[in-house]
């Protein structure tokens, strides 16, 4: 028996579960029809029909046949006839794929009009309305089916308006509209007069638009499949512009700005849907509909309740009132502000509309990010002068300063300051700390400025390559705009926008609903959420945000304190080992004090302390002046200083003499640090705290590096310290996995390491060959061209870096089943990366304190999604 | 039934196949005994006994028991008695593991002597001889068993010599020797007088030395297992110093310098073995033994033939003549010069002693390297002033110049020049080309200087960090030595030694035997051997050395020609796309000409041409002067030039805007190159040549990069060119695999690429996180401390980088079974890396022309070893 494929579904035949076949729009129209809402009748030509058409390159007769059958039904239901000059059935034709997809051809209204049916419509309504409908049809058919640019229609319209001496479309009288129709008909030659031919051409055009360039590019960038096709929805027209008893509007089932459980929306009487959006007349609030058409308002309220019950999500619906009768034309999940998202999710769970699990999946990392930081008021127009990478979220206003010392001074004096630099180095930290925000023209998402700003929870834009910074004249230009020292700007670290002047900001909110959601998340998640913190303030902040440990304490940040930097430089410049030891002896008590404070704050929580990581040249002065001053302090010739500094320079410092390589070349540095950690641990423990120190060796690529440091540094120092103190303490020794070779040989490394922490910043740099400081030169282009779908320093590259993470987890756990494994790269606070970490089997993620809430939610979402 | 393990083997019981159990020395002694050569009888305590002793931490009685049994045998065979004051049996005790292993305790001679047996020896020989033997015993026992430093014995000896007023040991009379014995006895307290106790203590000491620090470190560095143990050889003493009918010597079965099939060696009459080596008396040539003891000479000749037949290898043996009787004390494979290695391998195969396959395994890559370049005469003393990395083999003498232009000028005038720089950049190429050799104080094995020099086959030392170069004063210092501009030095690129003055050099030889071996290798090998060549001269050289294709033609090297550099800089500095296109249009014919010449030379052989790879800033001038001159040429302000140059600067250029990233940012550059390649190919093909062009895209990490370049550059340009010429040509498009992500996603990349070429330099940099330009800072230390066993830029890191290569081959071939895969990194010419490439399934290796012979041999060895 030959079974014919069903290519066309009436709205009565489908349901919301048939998105793949009917597209999102078609499935929702079917669903609404099936639950008894008043939807103008129609049918959907399936995505399969689209694929079949694209494959055969012509419309198979079986599809044509099935469409005719459904059109017969439609005529019956509406008591009108397609192409009947007396009582014409008009339809809309709309595309609708399973995913919303910008770039595909969209809508043709009033299809079925021609010179004959136009006369029928005139009789049934009025002449101006009919010609207005006709010109809309010609326009849309011309654009969608014939690909004639929108502007060409605008030109014609303008010609007529000028001719008639009017300014707005609505001011055109019947004759004007007739003239427009005439001009449009000249533009769109050979428009078929046969409505069926109109319909088939429109359907084919929508099908073909699946493969137009913009749609293909969109799918490529978003990783969507190319073999899904789009459906076509054919729906009988209803008109909101047939008189004072008619109207059109949009409604949200809840307030999309606040989340309040109350219908919200706008409408226009005697108008079509597009008029509401077009902004020519000012729409009214839905509240007012209560006065005008109380029954309709009440029906709409009822529809909202039904749709929410049906979809268990806040809906955004379009309606038309035709002569006092309410029609629902479309429904879809409504967009909302972050605050609303939180409130709606929380409320719906409490209303038992959804489970707590589903509530948790309803908030995204981006939304939480916005909840935690000041934002530029989106309602206000601002003058954007350039765009950079959105390195650290939140917005800040301040006066521009280029000199770090000056920025620090002004900032500490209470002025609002934005520090602007080509790039920042550790020597700029005091200026950054005193500023409201930081803006650089170089560097990527993990450049120094970006990392430090995120750690401080401070807005930051980096890699704004359009800016031409003239440090000498203390000004920058962006296009034609020149911004001088002291000028006020606003940076929007959430979007990367650089704004001239002081933009109005919205304060962050941290609602009780959000607090509740976080607690729900904690109940569900299985991974720990730790934070990266280098000082007691950050550690306290981390605990406040719910962190359960410190996954990364960068000891070098403690070196940059201006009081200490001198001694650090003395240590680095030392040519003789004994001079180095002398300087280290001065640093020891300082580091020890830092660690004691950290241990006290983190009482009962583990702290992973990473030994010195950056190349030494980051600590020494490059300019002659500072070199002279250092020379004076140390009492050695400046030439020697500059020679030594020069020797520290490297062609590619990221791949150079840093991390454990330093620890092996200069074991005394690591010895000092390990001693400081363990003495601090013993003493804090003696004072009654529960101290859980973990020592982490950076940049290990070879198990021998780790074993060498263990044997030559850690074990002997620990033995000494414990002996001296007559008391020992449990500590763990572990390593970063941040070099591809470390992941590849993780089984070997796991024989020595007690824990792994993925440094996905460096791992990304090396696996992809992207210098985090230099990606500004090509990554923006890659994102634009779709070579990359995300910045790999923001969103973990699961296809490229992911396999190394999985390999290391597997090999590491095979060699050492008790291995604790986490991630402490910037990705630890990004939702999709947190979810990946869960799937890869990590024990915890660690991120900057401000991102801990994101990680808590994402970790819960990971569990829910995997179920 | 309880089977007792056999821990002790008499020499009559073993054979050369029992190396693992008896150690190399013991197995060879047994073998010689079994084929009837006169070997002083003895026995071997096995490596298993060693392990048992180390495990139980005391000598198990079963081992003691078995040793006693064998000692009884020995007494019977020698008709002497161990510890008998009348006719004492004396033995030597020597360690001997399966692998030769420096650092383990070695030899004790004359064991069995004490105050009583000494008297017996005096009676049997003479008093001075006896005391001399005794003091030697005490000395060796003290060093080996008690760990007393050698110098302590020297001091005592010196005291006695001073006392007696003599200069040399041999001048001491009986009384002197007695005095030495007395002093030595005081030094080595409690030396057991019981010979058995002496033997047991000596045996235990040898066993224990297996685990001494130097031995453990040696095994770690060389990747040898720790669980093998060492054997102990106990052998009855024979004396070559009992009169004029006695003597000792060493013999090689063939001439170790030339390989000539003729016994070669040295001997001393009336002397012990150690005297021959000690250099106190000048030994005689073996030829002279013919005159003195013709029968012994003839016996020795016979022994050589027997040993060669037995071992099928040139042997290095030690012999002692005791009272006209020839004893063979040891045999082992003899060391030889590279030339000798080739001749011996070739001759032995022709003599049917070995197969051609075995002959091929008898030459190493290092030996071939030396055959191909000038060497410093090893016989001459030279003044080494510093050492760097041996970046490109061979030796060169010349006057030192620091300024590249001056070096170029002097060199082109015919002066021998050594160019000395901190590091080189592409702008130094003309100076390098005109110099005899290059010396830099920075950079690693794949730094610019190293890569270029190897490509030119020119001696080069890089990363000589001890040198303090003062470019201003045009001089460098190494320790106390100051070398000024114009001073003569010699660089030994084979060893890394920097030598003051003009050292005598040996010319390279390329014997017919070696040519024959290469042809044998070609018959056996299954992998292709290609060469990296950037210009027709190198290509011709490559063919001469036997290359079958060009695996890497770096187009950028063609950009550095001084005539072209201007246009290249113009192209890079261009702000507007049209200006860039203009400059590229000028470059096109130049590149096309290059390619045509290459295609002509490589008629019938494939050429892989890599599109532009290095970051653009490598091409632009950094100093103000050159910037000014460029500004004048282009007629734009110098500020603009320097701003543009500054913008090109990167923090880590190795991970920055280079490779295909440039091709995507500036498609016009790649378009020009692809057009030049294809036009050249079509025209050369029209002229009757067989042209096989392959276009290679560098630094791909993501299939979308390659497909973007394919779709937007290669396909359209090819279509244009073929249309314009009315003729098309077969070409292939492929990619480097040099970013870890490329290896990880090779299955995706293989859907677009037609061939892969592993760029193991970059792959090593990124997988290990080692910048090739900066490794000088820590890699030497890593090698010294044994963290690394080889420089990973010389020898492919099979454990770290290897898995990525294997993964990429597997994934690439799964996605595209016809994929051609090769390697074009520096490792393509290194023996062990070539062998790895074969095992990983590569189709070919490509290396600098001068290393092609090494690769041909290694590729054959790989096949032989895998059988």
Q: Is B295 exposed, middle or buried (0-12, 13-18, 19+ CB in 10 A)?
A: exposed
Place of tokens 């605008």: A154
Buried b / exposed e over B197-220, threshold 16 CB at 10 Å, is: ebbbbbbbbbbbbbeeeebeebbe
Amino acid B309: pLDDT: 95
The residue among A94, A92, A17, A21 whose CA lies nearest residue A51 is A21
Average pLDDT over every residue of A133-146: 93
Q: Is A312 exposed, middle or buried (0-12, 13-18, 19+ CB in 10 A)?
A: middle
Asked which of A254-268, A446-460, B36-50, B355-369 is least confident by mean pLDDT, the reply is A446-460
Q: Running DSSP on this structure, what letter comes out for residue A81?
A: B
Amino acid B456: pLDDT: 75
Query: For residue A812, which phi and psi values (nearest 5 degrees)?
Result: -65, -45
Question: Which CA distances in Å does B216 have to B52, B104, B212, B224, B225?
Answer: 18, 9, 6, 9, 9
The residue among A709, A685, A708, A683 whose CA lies nearest residue A695 is A709
**Terminus-to-terminus CA distance in chain A, angstroms?**
41
Whole-angstrom distance, CA of residue B501 vs CA of residue B490? 6
For chain A, the average pLDDT equals 91
Quick check: is A50 catalytic? no
User: B376 pairs with which residues across the strands?
Assistant: B505
Question: Which CA distances in Å does B70 have to B45, B74, B197?
Answer: 10, 6, 16
Whole-angstrom distance, CA of residue A849 vs CA of residue A580? 35
What's the half-sphere exposure (Cβ side, CA atoms, 13 Å) at B721? Answer: 24
Whole-angstrom distance, CA of residue A261 vs CA of residue A254? 5
Place of tokens 């005081």: B186
Choose the catalytic residue: A373, A448, A605, A617: A448
Q: In this prediction, what percent of chain A has a pLDDT beyond 90?
A: 68
Amino acid B280: pLDDT: 61
pLDDT in tens, A629-656: 888 888 888 888 888 888 888 889 999 9
Please indicate whether, in this complex, the C-beta atoms of B769 and A701 are within 8 angstroms of each other: yes
Whole-angstrom distance, CA of residue B447 vs CA of residue A652? 12
Cα three-residue angle B243-B249-B253, rounded to 5 degrees: 145
Q: Are A391 and A452 in contact (CB under 8 A)?
A: no
Task: Specify the 3-state DSSP secondary structure of A419.
Answer: strand
Q: How many Cβ atoms sit within 10 Å of the Cβ of residue A848?
A: 28
pLDDT at A213 over 90: no
Average pLDDT over every residue of A206-235: 86
Q: Is B576 exposed, middle or buried (0-12, 13-18, 19+ CB in 10 A)?
A: exposed
pLDDT in tens, A44-79: 999 999 999 999 989 989 999 999 999 999 999 999
Please indicate whether, in this complex, the C-beta atoms of A774 and B705 are within 8 angstroms of each other: no
Task: Specify the 3-state DSSP secondary structure of A505.
Answer: strand
Amino acid B540: pLDDT: 95
pLDDT at A1 over 70: no
The residue among A126, A148, A127, A108 whose CA lies nearest residue A156 is A148
Structure tokens at B67: 């040793």
Whole-angstrom distance, CA of residue A110 vs CA of residue B393? 83
Q: For A204, left (φ over 0), alpha (ψ -120 to 50), or beta?
A: alpha
Measured in angstroms, the CA of B768 and the nearest CA of chain A are apart by 5
Crossing angle (nearest 10°) for helices B638-648 and B562-573: 90
pLDDT at A678 over 70: yes
Q: Which of B665, B738, B745 shows the shortest C-beta gap to A778?
A: B665
Whole-angstrom distance, CA of residue B304 vs CA of residue B326? 13
CA B236 distance to own-chain centroid: 39
B618 has a chain A CB within 8 A of its CB: no
Which chain B residues have a beta carbon less than 8 Å from that of A744?
767, 799-800, 803-804
Cα three-residue angle A9-A11-A13, rounded to 5 degrees: 60
Measured in angstroms, the CA of B744 and the nearest CA of chain A are apart by 6
Q: For A128, left (φ over 0), alpha (ψ -120 to 50), or beta?
A: alpha
pLDDT at A335 over 70: yes
B570 has a chain A CB within 8 A of its CB: no
pLDDT in tens, A424-436: 887 788 888 889 9
Residue A359's contacts (CB-CB under 8 Å, 6 or more residues apart) are A345, A346, A348, A349, A517, A520
Please indicate whether, in this complex, the C-beta atoms of A774 and B664 are within 8 angstroms of each other: no
The residue among A752, A741, A734, A703 whose CA lies nearest residue A846 is A734
B463 has a chain A CB within 8 A of its CB: no
Whole-angstrom distance, CA of residue A99 vs CA of residue B502? 77
Q: Check the CA dihedral B734-B739-B742-B743 and report its sign.
A: positive
Whole-angstrom distance, CA of residue B465 vs CA of residue A146? 72
Which chain B residues have a beta carbon less than 8 Å from that of A777?
650, 656-657, 661, 665
Q: Are A424 and A448 in contact (CB under 8 A)?
A: yes
Element (DSSP H or E) covering residue B506: strand B505-506
Residue of B nearest to A797 (CA): B741
Asked which of A310-314, A464-468, A751-755, B295-299 is least confident by mean pLDDT, the reply is A464-468
Question: Which CA distances in Å does B766 have to A337, A373, A738?
Answer: 42, 37, 11
Whole-angstrom distance, CA of residue A565 vs CA of residue A54? 68
Q: What is the pTM of this model?
A: 0.83
Residues of chain B with pLDDT under 50: 1
Amino acid A634: pLDDT: 84
CA dihedral B351, B354, B356, B361 (to 10 degrees): -130
A826 has a chain B CB within 8 A of its CB: no
Residue of A nearest to B707 (CA): A787
Place of tokens 């006169």: B38
Residue of B nearest to A777 (CA): B657
pLDDT at A846 over 70: yes
Amino acid A844: pLDDT: 98
Q: Are B740 and A740 in contact (CB under 8 A)?
A: yes
The residue among B45, B348, B356 whose CA lies nearest residue B204 is B45
Task: Specify the 3-state DSSP secondary structure of A176.
Answer: helix
Amino acid B367: pLDDT: 87
Measured in angstroms, the CA of B705 and the nearest CA of chain A are apart by 6
Q: In this prediction, what percent of chain A has a pLDDT beyond 70?
A: 98
Amino acid A371: pLDDT: 85
Question: How many helices (H) does chain B have, and how many strands (E)?
Answer: 35, 31
Whole-angstrom distance, CA of residue B82 vs CA of residue A683? 65
Measured in angstroms, the CA of A812 and the nearest CA of chain B are apart by 15
A 397-436 residues with CB < 8 A to B = 423
Whole-angstrom distance, CA of residue A780 vs CA of residue B703? 18
Q: Which of A767, A773, A804 shows the shortest C-beta gap to B651?
A: A773
Please list the active-site residues of B. 448, 824
Interface test with A, best of B700, B763, B774, B797 (most A CBs within 10 A): B774
Amino acid B566: pLDDT: 85
Residue B629's contacts (CB-CB under 8 Å, 6 or more residues apart) are B621
Sheet strand arrangement including A247-252: A284-285, A264-269, A247-252, A315-322, A325-333
Amino acid A677: pLDDT: 97
Q: Are B583 and B567 in contact (CB under 8 A)?
A: yes
Please indicate whether, in this complex, the C-beta atoms of B664 and A787 are within 8 angstroms of each other: yes
Residue B784's contacts (CB-CB under 8 Å, 6 or more residues apart) are none
Q: How many Cβ atoms sit within 10 Å of the Cβ of residue B602?
A: 28
Please indicate whether, in this complex, the C-beta atoms of A766 and B705 are within 8 angstroms of each other: no
Query: For residue B491, which phi and psi values (nearest 5 degrees)?
Result: -110, 135
B783 has a chain A CB within 8 A of its CB: no
A785 has a chain B CB within 8 A of its CB: yes
Amino acid B278: pLDDT: 60
Query: For residue A227, which phi and psi values (nearest 5 degrees)?
Result: -105, 30
Measured in angstroms, the CA of B746 and the nearest CA of chain A are apart by 10
Residue of B nearest to A447 (CA): B651
Q: Number of A:B CB contacts under 8 A?
A: 172
pLDDT band at A776 (very low <50, low <70, confident <90, very high): confident
Residue B194's contacts (CB-CB under 8 Å, 6 or more residues apart) are B83, B114
Q: Which of A665, A701, A786 shows the shortest C-beta gap to B768?
A: A701
Which chain B residues have a beta carbon less than 8 Å from that of A664?
778, 781-782, 785, 787
Element (DSSP H or E) covering residue B333: strand B325-333
Which chain A residues have a beta carbon less than 8 Å from that of B423?
651
Structure tokens at B649: 């600067």
Which chain A residues have a beta carbon less than 8 Å from that of B799?
744-745
A 731-770 residues with CB < 8 A to B = 738-741, 744-745, 762, 765-770
pLDDT at A195 over 90: yes
Q: What is the 3 state secondary structure string of B586-647? A: HHHHHHHHHHHHHHHHCCCCEEEEECCCCCHHHHCCCCHHHHHHHHHHHCCCHHHHHHHHHH
Which chain A residues have a beta carbon less than 8 Å from that of B653?
651-652, 771, 774
Q: Which of B661, B738, B804 shows the shortest C-beta gap to A778?
A: B661
Place of tokens 């103190």: A725
Q: Are A569 and A619 in contact (CB under 8 A)?
A: yes
The residue among B271, B262, B282 whose CA lies nearest residue B320 is B271
Whole-angstrom distance, CA of residue A477 vs CA of residue A485? 12
pLDDT band at A573 (very low <50, low <70, confident <90, very high): confident
Cα three-residue angle A379-A384-A386, rounded to 5 degrees: 145
């Amino acid at each position: 028996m030959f079974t014919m494929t069903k290519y066309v579904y009436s709205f009565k035949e489908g349901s919301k579960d048939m998105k793949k076949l009917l597209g999102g729009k078609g499935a929702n129209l079917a669903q609404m029809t099936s639950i008894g809402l008043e939807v103008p009748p129609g049918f959907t030509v399936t995505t399969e029909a689209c694929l079949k058409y694209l494959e055969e390159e012509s419309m198979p007769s079986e599809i044509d046949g099935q469409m005719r059958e459904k059109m017969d039904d439609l005529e019956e239901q509406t008591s009108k006839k397609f192409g009947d000059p007396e009582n014409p059935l008009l339809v809309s034709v709309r595309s609708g794929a399973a995913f919303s997809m910008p770039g595909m051809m969209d809508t043709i209204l009033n299809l079925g009009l021609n010179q004959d049916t136009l006369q029928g419509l005139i009789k049934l309504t009025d002449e101006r309305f009919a010609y207005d409908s006709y010109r809309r049809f010609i326009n849309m058919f011309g654009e969608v089916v014939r690909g004639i640019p929108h502007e060409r229609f605008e030109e014609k319209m303008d010609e007529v308006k000028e001719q008639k001496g009017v300014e707005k479309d609505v001011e055109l009288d019947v004759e004007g509209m007739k003239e427009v129709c005439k001009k449009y008909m000249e533009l769109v030659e050979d428009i078929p007069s046969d409505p069926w031919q109109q319909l088939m051409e429109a359907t084919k055009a929508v099908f073909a638009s699946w493969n137009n360039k913009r749609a293909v590019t969109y799918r490529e960038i978003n990783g969507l499949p190319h073999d899904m096709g789009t459906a076509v929805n054919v729906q009988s027209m209803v008109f909101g512009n047939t008189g004072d008893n008619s109207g059109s509007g949009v409604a949200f089932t809840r307030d999309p700005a606040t989340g309040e459980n109350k219908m919200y929306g706008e409408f226009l009487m005697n108008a079509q849907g597009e008029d509401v959006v077009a902004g020519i007349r000012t729409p009214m609030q839905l509240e007012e509909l209560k006065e005008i058409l109380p029954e309709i308002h009440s029906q709409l309220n009822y529809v909202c309740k039904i749709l929410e019950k049906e979809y268990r999500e806040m809906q955004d619906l379009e309606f038309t009132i035709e002569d006092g009768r309410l029609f629902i034309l479309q429904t879809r999940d409504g967009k909302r502000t972050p605050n609303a998202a939180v409130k709606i999710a929380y409320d719906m769970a409490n209303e038992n509309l959804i489970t707590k699990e589903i509530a948790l999946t309803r908030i995204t990392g981006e939304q939480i990010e916005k909840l935690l930081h000041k934002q530029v008021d989106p309602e206000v127009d601002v003058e954007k002068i350039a765009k950079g990478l959105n390195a650290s979220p939140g917005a800040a206003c301040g006066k521009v300063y280029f000199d770090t010392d000056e920025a620090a001074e002004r900032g500490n004096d209470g002025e609002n300051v934005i520090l602007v630099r080509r790039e920042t180095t550790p020597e700029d930290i005091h200026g950054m700390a005193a500023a409201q925000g930081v803006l650089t023209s170089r560097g990527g998402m993990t450049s120094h400025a970006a990392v430090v700003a995120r750690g401080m929870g401070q807005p930051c834009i980096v890699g704004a390559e359009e800016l031409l910074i003239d440090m000498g004249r203390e000004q920058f230009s962006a296009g034609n705009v020149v911004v001088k020292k002291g000028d006020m700007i606003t940076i929007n670290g959430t979007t990367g926008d650089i704004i001239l002047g002081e933009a109005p900001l919205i304060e962050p909110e941290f609602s009780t609903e959000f607090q509740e959601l976080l607690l729900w998340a904690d109940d569900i998640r299985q991974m720990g959420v730790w934070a990266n913190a280098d000082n007691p303030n950050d550690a306290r902040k981390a605990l406040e945000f719910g962190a359960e440990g410190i996954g990364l304490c960068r000891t070098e940040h403690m070196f940059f304190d201006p009081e200490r930097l001198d001694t650090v430089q003395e240590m680095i410049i030392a040519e003789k080992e004994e001079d180095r030891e002398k300087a280290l002896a001065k640093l020891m008590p300082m580091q020890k004090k830092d660690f004691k404070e950290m241990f006290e704050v983190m009482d009962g929580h583990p702290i992973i302390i990473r030994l010195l990581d950056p190349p030494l040249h980051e600590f020494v002065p490059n300019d002659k002046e500072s070199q002279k001053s250092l020379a004076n302090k140390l009492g050695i010739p400046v030439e020697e200083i500059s020679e030594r500094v020069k020797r520290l320079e490297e062609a590619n410092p990221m791949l150079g003499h840093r991390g454990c390589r330093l620890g092996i070349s200069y074991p005394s540095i690591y010895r000092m640090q390990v001693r400081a950690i363990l003495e601090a641990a013993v003493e804090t423990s003696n004072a009654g705290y529960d101290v859980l120190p973990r020592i982490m060796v950076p940049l290990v690529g070879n198990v021998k590096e780790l074993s060498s440091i263990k044997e030559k540094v850690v074990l002997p120092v620990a033995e000494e310290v414990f002996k001296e103190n007559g008391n020992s303490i449990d500590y763990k020794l572990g390593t970063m996995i941040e070099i591809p070779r470390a992941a590849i040989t993780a089984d070997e490394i796991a024989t020595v390491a007690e824990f792994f922490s993925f440094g996905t910043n460096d791992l990304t740099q090396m696996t992809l060959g992207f210098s985090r400081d230099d990606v500004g030169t090509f990554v923006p282009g890659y994102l634009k061209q779709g070579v990359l779908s995300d910045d790999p320093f923001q969103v973990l590259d699961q296809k490229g870096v992911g396999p190394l993470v999985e390999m290391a987890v597997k090999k590491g756990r095979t060699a050492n089943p008790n291995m604790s494994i986490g991630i402490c790269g910037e990705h630890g606070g990004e939702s999709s990366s947190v979810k990946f970490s869960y799937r890869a089997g990590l024990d915890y993620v660690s991120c900057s304190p401000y991102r801990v809430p994101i990680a808590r939610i994402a970790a819960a979402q990971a569990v829910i999604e995997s179920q």
